[in-house]
Amino acid sequence: MSTVTTSRSIKVTINGTTYEREVEARKLLIHFIRDDLDLTGSHIGCDTGNCGACSVIVDGSLVKSCMLLAVQADGATVETVEGLAHGDELNKLQQAFKDHHALQCGYCTPGMLMSATALLRANPHPSEDEIKKGLQGNICRCTGYWNIFEAVKAASE
Amino acid sequence: MLLREVGYARPGSLGEAIELLAADDGARALAGGQTLINVMKARAGSPDALIDLAGIEELKGIELRADGTLEIGAMATYTELVESSEARARPIIGEVCAQIADVQVRNRGTIGGNLCTSDPTNHLPPLMAALGAQMTIAGAGGERTVPASEFFLGVYMTAVGVGEVLTKITVPAGRSDGFAAVTLGVEGTCIASAAASVNGGVTIALGCVDAVPVVLHPGSVDEDAVREAVRDANLDPPSDVHAPSSYRKHLAEVLAVRAVNQARS
Ligand SMILES: Cc1cc2nc3c(=O)[nH]c(=O)nc-3n(C[C@H](O)[C@H](O)[C@H](O)COP(=O)(O)OP(=O)(O)OC[C@H]3O[C@@H](n4cnc5c(N)ncnc54)[C@H](O)[C@@H]3O)c2cc1C
Ligand code: FES
Ligand code: FES
């Protein structure tokens, strides 16, 4: 019989490293990632599930980590923006963001990159509409989206 | 946002979940969390304990029976409903689920959570009402089945009582369905919505115009009959920042016609 507890020990593998930590049940996954593990690449924009800055991939599925408790991710494999580059070398998608000037302040970028990563993994050659639909959950206040769209398109070619 | 302190359990069976939910009337089921976590952040609700349904196999899966009936586990996500070949037996379900919010919300949000929220702006309550779905609810006393028309009791209120879990949604066979909505931005929150099913008789369910879906049975699929049925319902929709009552009332009529036209095409 499982019991109700206000904290529990969880085991989460993030970008290949397995972390075991005691967390409070009320802790959001984004806070676990940023505050407990100091992986501050994933951002908190709205904290209401609207902006997508906190997007990460959990067991292969793109989610907003401000809309998930850390305890819900117990046993999961998580990918964050820190896992994209190969050492100091940007991956193809990140390089495309750089080449196409797909960021200004950069606040939305980690979420955009994770959404685009999930999109291109499921659909390596998306149509223009599919790119737009794949990024629908991510808000950017700076770029007008066009260069982000161009970058994802370039990375898919 | 730091949530108020809360307990958490992840039972492995439905029986355990029901026991945990019944043991504390401050306990709430946690499905995709795409509404509940926000409710907790806003302190609009502060459950004492969250009973996570994610580990319960009985609540998962989408099955198509030989007679065309679809049995959808309450924990089926929108993404699963969009991708499921079984769910294609009733194509409108995947079509509507693909319009809800965005990839991230669709990957987590569940049909059971959508229905149990009973938010008048949600997509699935009017759809399930139009399709004539049956909801199976399990509790300590066993199982009961409630038709969609009796499931929604008010804003955020359903037939699911304390200590109970919505386990599955049964959708009868049929194909001629439609859905139309005016939303905030592309695929945003509904300002008004209408679902229609023309399998035998004509059933329309209107969303966002009352606390629960308004179900109508016009005499035929003709535009005049549909408009008349909506007018005869004497709707008195709420006004808010997105639309005054009169505009929602107008939209209900227009969207009912569009949904019926899609269903008969
Ligand atoms: C940015 C954003 C945009 C959205 N836009 C839309 C939209 O346009 N249209 C739309 O329809 N929805 C929208 N939603 C809401 C979303 O669809 C939610 O997923 C849904 O309302 C709740 O489903 P859930 O699985 O996340 O449930 P949860 O949030 O986990 O639960 C919701 C409620 O239902 C109860 N519950 C859940 N499952 C069960 C069960 N099996 N038995 C008993 N009780 C249960 C919970 O206790 C809770 O009270 C949006 C959400 C977000 C964050
Ligand atoms: S911070 Fe999570 S969606 Fe905005
Ligand atoms: S680059 Fe500033 S929010 Fe997108």
Q: How many whole angstroms separate alpha carbon B258 and alpha carbon B251?
A: 10
| One-character DSSP codes across B148-186 | HHHHEEETTEES--TT-EEEEEEE-S---EEEEEEESST
Q: Could you tell me if residue A29 is inside a domain?
A: yes
User: Class assignment of domain B177-264?
Assistant: alpha beta
Mean model confidence pLDDT for chain A: 97
Tell me if A2 is assigned to some domain: no
Q: To 5 degrees, how large is the angle CA B198–CA B101–CA A49? A: 150
Residues sharing a CB contact under 8 Å with residue B261, sequence separation 6 or more, in sequence order: B178, B223
Instruction: Extract the tokens encoding B118.
Output: 């009973």
What is the span of the domain harbouring residue A24? 7-83
Q: How many domains does chain A have?
A: 2
Question: What residues in B contact A126, CB-CB < 8 Å?
Answer: none
Residue A1 has pLDDT above 90, yes or no: no
How do residues B159-214 score in pLDDT, each as one tens digit? 999 999 999 999 999 989 999 999 998 889 999 999 999 988 999 999 999 999 99
Name the burial class of residue B260, with classes exposed (0-12), middle (13-18) and buried (19+) by CB atoms within 10 angstroms of its CB.
Answer: buried
The whole-number pLDDT of residue A2 equals: 87
Angle at CA B256, nearest 5°, toward B189 and B213? 60
CA distance, residue B1 to nearest chain A CA (Å): 7
- Closest-CA residue in chain B for A60? B107
Exposed, middle or buried, A129 (CB in 10 Å: 0-12/13-18/19+)? exposed
Q: What is the secondary structure of B180-235 as a DSSP string?
A: EEEESSTT--EEEEEEEEEESEEEEEEESSSSS-EEE--SSSSHHHHHHHHHHTT-
Q: With respect to residue A1, please indicate whether it lies within any of the assigned structural domains.
A: no
| Residues ≥6 apart with Cβ < 8 Å to B185 | none
Task: Give the closest of A2, A24, A55 to B10, CB-based.
Answer: A2
Which domain-ending residue is among A31, A55, A83? A83
Query: Does residue A68 sit in the same domain as residue A117?
Result: no
Cα–Cα dist B38/B35, whole Å: 5
The verdict on residue A16 lying in a domain is yes
The residue to which tokens 């008349």 are assigned: B228
How many angstroms separate the alpha carbon of residue B107 from the centre of ligand 1? Answer: 12
Q: Mind listing the pLDDT tens digit for each residue in A108-143?
A: 999 999 999 999 999 999 999 999 999 999 999 999
Mutate to test the pocket of ligand 3, among A104, A147, A148, A149 (most ligand atoms within 8 A of CB): A104
Domain edges within chain B: 7-52, 57-171, 177-264
- Residue window 26-45, chain A: list those with CB within 8 Å of chain B: 26-28, 31
Q: Is A58 in the same domain as A121?
A: no
Whether A131 is in a domain gets the answer yes
| Domain boundary, last residue among A63, A83, A103 | A83
| B7-52 classified as CATH 3.30.43.10 | yes
Domain boundaries B57-171, corresponding CATH code: 3.30.465.10
Q: What is the pTM of this model?
A: 0.97
Length of chain A: 157
| pLDDT tens for each residue of A43-92 | 999 999 999 999 999 999 999 999 999 999 999 999 999 999 999 999 99
Among B9, B33, B105, the residue with its CB nearest the CB of A2 is B9
DSSP string, B80-126: HHHH-TTGGGSHHHHHHHTTSS-HHHHHH-BHHHHHHHT-TT-SHHH
> Would you say residue A20 lies in a domain?
yes
CATH number at residue A137: 1.10.150.120
> Closest ligand 1 atom to the C-alpha of B166?
42
Please tell me the distance between residue B108's alpha carbon and the centre of ligand 1 in angstroms.
9
What's residue B249's pLDDT? Answer: 98
Asked if ipTM goes beyond 0.90, one says yes
State which residues of chain B have pLDDT below 50: none
Helix (H, G, I), strand (E, B) or coil at A69: strand
- Asked whether residue A129 is assigned to any structural domain, the reply reads yes
